[in-house]
Amino acid sequence: MSSSTPQARSPGDRVCQKEARAKAMGHIVLNGLMAALFASLFVRAGDLPSSMWEPLGSGTFPRLILAVMMVFNLLIIAKEGRRYMACQPLAPHAVRDWLWRHRLAFGVLGLFTLLTLAVPLVGFRWASLPFLIACQFLLGARRPRALLIALVIAVVMSFGVDALFRHVFTISLPRGVWG
Amino acid sequence: MMEAILSGAEQLFNLPTLLTMLVGVTAGVIAAAIPGFTITMAIVLTLPLTFTMPPLQGVATMLAVYIGGYTGGMISAALLGIPGTPSAVATTFDAFPMARRGEPGRALAIGIWASFFGTLISSIVLILAAPPLALIAVKLGAWEYFSLVIFALTIVASLVGRSMIRGLLAGMLGLLIATVGADPLMGVTRFTFDLNLLSAGIPFLVVLIGIFAVSQLLSEVENPEQIKQGKALIASRITFHPLSALHEVVMHPINLVRSSLVGVFIGAVPGAGGSIANLLAYDQAKRGSRTPEAFGTGCSEGVVASESGNSATSGGGLIPLIALGIPGSAVDAVLMASLMVHGIGIGPRLILDHADTVYGMFMAMFLAGAMMLIVCLLSMRLFLKVTNVPKSIIVPVVMTCCLVGAFTLNNRVTDIYLLLGIGVFGYILAKLDYPLAPLVLGVILGPIAETNLRRALMTDDNWTLFFTRPVSLALLALAVISVILAIRYRMKQRHQAAALG
């Protein structure tokens, strides 16, 4: 009997069951989205031109892969659908709790997203400097000494790295509008 | 011959050459240890510096960077779980769990010795078997290449983790990612949606950094309590005992030699290289082990296989270069360019016309291997201090390095956006327990598989040639055996689990 069946009784099992249900839902959503995307790509690949010089055109190899992947997607959806049905429903605040537990990961991801968007606009130096300071602050550098270290690291990793690449490796990192 | 050897030794064993080699090894180790920076980048950056050097000094320096780089990739793989170079992907499977359970010194020491022996074995094979091996390697046609890729793809069966179907899906995803951009034969753009972002395809290195680095770094900061306490990557006391690690490495001689020979062969096949060799060597070690269930949990055999396998490709790659003038990888092509800059013609006559340079290169391989060992053993305590650095510093610094690495690959800002997108996708896959290594393997093998399948059928549209050409048939048979063994192993595991209740 798998641990995800309704017969599990201990608190640990219940947590495990909730996680299994959430993951099963995640698999179903992800594979459903992928299957839809792959189906549209499959159709698109069919329109790719073929050549008189080769039996396989540009679209054959991708179509082969896409077809196999769609089969895998459906198999995973079927398997995880059964698991989802067998698990207890999630508590109403489960998603909120999960998001709160992962707040730092999402915070870092948000800052990294801002960094990637800012690099072409303001250049590597001025985008990475606030990223490095903000990220270290978010992850716990709050006292004056820690903030000073964070500042030094930020300057070295932004202005220092930029200078290293420009003058030693002769590679210009993005300069942005303030270049 | 003796005259050429002595002449080569004279050019090699002088202070300027020894010094530049030492700097090269150190630079290679450091560059490859930074996620996002590859050995190819380090070699390319070294090339202009060698123009003013005598030919052998230039090549020896670049070989030193090359060999140092193969070992350096292991450092971030073991300490951060992020492969420093594509050739260190399999190193993360066991070196990282070993480091996480409080033995980062052991993981690094085993990796260093395995790398050293891998380099040593590949150098010996290079000297003894360069001409015959090169002839075999270049006789492989499109049929054999495709069959070789099919065999390599069966590694997925070993990397799938708990769910075979999720692992296979990840591998296929990798193959699909590799089809984005220009078609390798006709140049037709595929799946770009007229976006500038996708027009040049999705570079392999961006996938590697995004999938491994971004998802791993986000996982590191998932626990707010640990972060609040300012926890370092590895909390326990760090020890480094190279001699006991040497004992562990030589206790597995079959694994060491087999993995090194896999590395030499894959290195000798043009277009393959360390990124495949480490995975193939790991796979073979797991299949040949008495305790395959220990693989992936931090076992020394896995570290030995991956590190000796990838380091051995350095000697393997030189086989077709020296014997036939055909570079086996991008790094070998840069080495070739450095010789050509000095007016040394590359081709089958190289060993006849410039025997002193060739023997000097052979000796430089051994010397660079020894230097790498010394540099790494002396500096590893310093690298281990990384594990004491709080995550609040490591995470943003490594993320910045990843961004720089992704950009400098092609000097394209769009690669940074791709890095972000792939990183987020990799994080989702990791959270849902999809194994990431098969995806990376798919991206590596996808273009080789498609190009050779289509090229084979362009040459002759007879499909049966895949089964009638002896080498192709042998490789396909190996692929079938590999799949059968993987299924048998999984069934055995399932029965054992059922028996244990």
d(CA B412, CA A173): 10
pLDDT greater than 50 at residue B236: yes
Label the pairing between strands B189-190 and B181-182: antiparallel
Tell me which residue of A154, A102, A105 sits closest to A131, measured CA to CA. A154
**Searching chain A, which residue's CA lies closest to the CA of residue B170?**
A69
Can you give the pLDDT at residue A40? 95
pLDDT attached to residue A116: 95
d(CA B286, CA B294) in angstroms, rounded, equals 9
Q: Which of A163-177, B94-108, B216-230 has the lowest mean pLDDT?
A: B216-230
The alpha carbon of residue A65 is apart from the nearest alpha carbon of chain B, in Å, by 6
What pLDDT shows up at residue B370?
94
A119: chain B residues, CB-CB within 8 Å: 403, 407, 413, 416
Rounded to 5 degrees, φ, ψ at B396 are -65, -35
Q: How many CB atoms lie under 10 A from the CB of residue B153?
A: 23
Q: What is the mean pLDDT of residues B393-406?
A: 89
pTM of the predicted model as reported, rounded to 2 decimal places: 0.79
Closest residue by Cα to residue B326 from B273, B276, B272, B270: B270
At A128 the pLDDT is: 96
Mean pLDDT of the region B421-432: 93
Q: Who has greater pLDDT, B112 or B45?
A: B112
Alpha-carbon distance of A168 to B401, in angstroms, equals: 17
| Partners of residue A44 in chain B, C-beta under 8 Å | 191
Q: Is residue B176 over pLDDT 60?
A: yes
Digit-by-digit pLDDT tens for chain A (179 residues) are 334 444 444 555 555 566 788 889 999 999 999 999 999 999 999 888 877 777 888 889 999 999 999 999 999 999 999 988 888 777 778 888 888 888 999 999 999 999 999 999 999 999 999 999 999 999 988 889 999 999 999 999 999 999 988 988 788 999 988 76
The helix (H) or strand (E) run that includes residue B102 is none
pLDDT at residue B348, rounded to an integer: 64
pLDDT value of position A107 = 94
Beta-bridge mates of residue B232: B390
Has residue B498 got a pLDDT over 50? yes
Give the integer Cα–Cα distance in Å for B493 and B486: 11
Mean pLDDT estimate for chain B: 84
What radius of gyration, in Å, describes the C-alpha atoms of chain A? 25
Q: Which residue out of A1, A31, A60, A72 would a mutagenesis test of the B interface target, given it has the greatest number of B Cβ atoms within 10 Å?
A: A72
User: Burial of B54 by CB count in 10 Å (0-12 exposed, 13-18 middle, 19+ buried)?
Assistant: middle
Distances (CA, A) of B325 to B328, B333, B350, B452: 9, 10, 8, 22
Cα–Cα dist B387/B394, whole Å = 9
CA dist list (Å): A85 to A3, A5, A22 = 14, 9, 11
In sequence order, the 6+-apart residues with CB closer than 8 A to the CB of A77 are A27, A28, A31, A32, A35
CB B427 within 8 A of CB B218: yes
**Residue B287 pLDDT exceeds 50:** yes
> Taking CB atoms and an 8 Å cutoff, what residues of chain A touch B449?
61
Burial class (CB in 10 A: 0-12, 13-18, 19+), A75: middle
Task: Look at residue A74 in the predicted model and tell me its pLDDT.
Answer: 96
Segment B351-365 shows an average pLDDT of 84
Q: Which residue in A35, A33, A93 sits closest to B428, CA to CA?
A: A33
Q: Identify which of A81, A74, A96 has the alpha carbon closest to the alpha carbon of residue A25.
A: A81
Which residues pair with residue B189 across a beta bridge?
B182
Statement: residue B489 has pLDDT above 80: no
Phi, psi of B51 (to 5 degrees): -60, -35
| Helix (H), strand (E) at residue B478 | helix B470-499
Helix (H), strand (E) at residue B182:
strand B181-182
Given an 8 Å threshold on Cβ–Cβ distance, is B404 in contact with A58?
A: no
Cβ–Cβ contact B2 with A under 8 A: no
Is B23 or B83 the better-scoring residue by pLDDT?
A: B23
Main-chain phi, psi angles of B432, to 5 degrees: -95, 15
Residues of B in contact with A104 (CB under 8 A): 221-222, 224, 227
- d(CA B181, CA B174) in angstroms, rounded, equals 14
DSSP one-letter code for B342: T
Q: Which one-letter DSSP state was computed for residue B289?
A: -
Spell B157-175 as b/e; 16+ CB within 10 A means b.
bbbbbebeebbbbbbbbbb
Contact flag A54-B176 (C-beta cutoff 8 Å): no
CA distance linking residue B159 with residue B490, whole number of Å: 12
Residue A6 pLDDT:
43
Strand partners, B182: B189
- Residue by residue, DSSP assigns B430-469 as HHTT--SHHHHHHHHHHHHHHHHHHHHHHH---TTHHHHS
**How many other β-carbons are positioned within 10 Å of the β-carbon of residue B421?**
16
Query: Which of B169, B227, B404 is nearest residue A139 as measured by Cβ atoms?
Result: B227
Name residue, tokens 């027009």.
Answer: B199
The Cα–Cα gap between B61 and B27 comes to 10
Three-state DSSP class for B326? coil
Alpha helix locations (H) across chain A? 11-46, 60-86, 94-101, 103-138, 144-155, 161-163
B386-403 in b/e burial notation, b at 16+ Cβ within 10 A?
bbeebbbbbbbbbbbbbb
Contact B329, B304 (CB under 8 A): no
pLDDT confidence of residue A127 = 96
Is the predicted pLDDT of residue B80 greater than 80, yes or no? Answer: yes
Residue B173 — pLDDT band, cuts 50, 70, 90?
very high
All residues of chain B having their beta carbon less than 8 Å from the beta carbon of residue A57 are 186
Mean pLDDT value across residues B180-209: 87
Q: Which of A40, A133, A131, A78 is CA-nearest to residue B416?
A: A131
Residue pair B350/B56 in contact by the 8 Å Cβ criterion: no
The CB-based long-range contact list for B244-249 (8 Å cut-off, 24+ gap) reads B244/B106, B244/B109, B245/B106, B245/B109, B245/B110, B245/B112, B245/B113, B246/B109, B246/B113, B248/B106, B248/B110, B248/B300, B248/B304, B249/B110, B249/B113, B249/B114, B249/B117, B249/B300, B249/B304
Residues B395 and B217: beta-carbon distance below 8 Å:
yes
B360 close to A (CB below 8 A): no
Quick: pLDDT tens for B145-161: 888 888 877 777 666 66
Contacts of A164 (CB under 8 A, 6+ apart): none
| Long-range contacts (CB closer than 8 Å, 24 or more residues apart) made by B5-10 | B5/B356, B5/B359, B7/B356, B7/B359, B7/B360, B8/B56, B8/B355, B8/B356, B8/B357, B8/B358, B8/B359, B8/B360, B8/B361, B8/B362, B8/B363, B9/B359, B9/B360, B9/B363
Rg (Cα) of chain B, in Å, rounded?
22
Give tens-digit pLDDT for B346-357. Answer: 766 777 778 888
In terms of average pLDDT, the best of A28-32, B235-239, B444-448 is A28-32
Helix (H) or strand (E) holding B188, with range, is none
Q: Is the pLDDT of residue B432 over 80?
A: yes
Residue percentage of chain B with pLDDT more than 70: 92
List, in order, residues 6 or more apart from B289 with CB less than 8 Å away: B255, B295, B301
Tell me the pLDDT band of B10, cut-offs 50, 70 and 90.
Answer: confident
Report the residue from A48, A68, A79 with minimal CB separation from B190: A48
Chain B residues within 8 A of A146 when measuring between CB atoms: 392
